[in-house]
Copies of this chain bind each other. A is one copy, B any other.
Amino acid sequence: MKPETEPAQSSRQRVLQAAEQLFSEHGYAAVTLRDIADALGIKQASLYYHAPGGKEELFVQVTERGLKRHQQGLESAIASAGMNLRDQLQAAARWLLSQPALNYGRMLQSDMRAISPHEAERLRVSAYRSLIAPLTQVFAVVQSHSSDHAAKTVYLAGAFLSIIEGIHNLPTTFSDQPKEAMADYLIDTWLNGLQPGSYSS
């Protein structure tokens, strides 16, 4: 499909990529259209050709694209990891660490409040479907003696995402360990439980 007739989009993709990189790194409010244009070597006004809606439209497009990519990447990584919970979590962590940081927390807490409520709500739903839902599936196999099993698996998914994003945001000079090793350690810790060394209440 679309062989020679659409070599285009290359320009648009470049714009989206530059915008994604900057928004991801600094957050919505801290990035100006000039920053994005400079990164591309073009002028600020030229961005309105690609995003007539301006800064907000650019952010929404970029975020939606990133979330879709994450959904696909997460589901694919999990599916390829087989039936073992540990392997699935490691695969999910590796995918998340291979991508530019989403900063799910900052996105929900700060960025969303800077855009129109309507768009914010759409992105919130999209983020849940793309990030939380796939991880919730993974944790569904965890047994729970609780009445509300479904809610608990969502908590686990959120906690997992928080941990991995926390690792992602660490300065690289923080530890000599690669981030993947840190993730694996924390996953094992979580699966096996924390054993106090020699403690008796």
Taking Cβ atoms with an 8 Å cutoff, the residues of A that contact B are 25-30, 82-85, 101, 103, 105-106, 108-110, 113-114, 139, 141-143, 151-152, 154-156, 158-159, 161-163, 165-167, 169-171, 175, 177, 182, 185-186, 189-199, 201
Contact = CB atoms under 8 A, between A and B. Distances in A.
B191 A191 contact: no
A186 B155 contact: yes
20 contacts: A26-B110, A26-B113, A26-B114, A27-B27, A29-B30, A83-B201, A85-B194, A103-B105, A108-B169, A110-B110, A141-B196, A141-B199, A142-B196, A143-B198, A154-B175, A155-B182, A155-B186, A156-B194, A161-B166, A191-B193
Nearest to A104: B166
Nearest to A101: B109
Given A156-B186, A161-B166, A110 B201 contact: no
B170 A166 contact: no
A3 to B, nearest CB: 41
Q: Which of A110, A193, A195 has the largest count of B CB atoms less than 10 A from its CB?
A: A110
A52 B88 CA distance: 53
Contacts of A141: 196-197, 199
A113 to B, nearest CB: 6
Contacts of A175: 151, 154-155
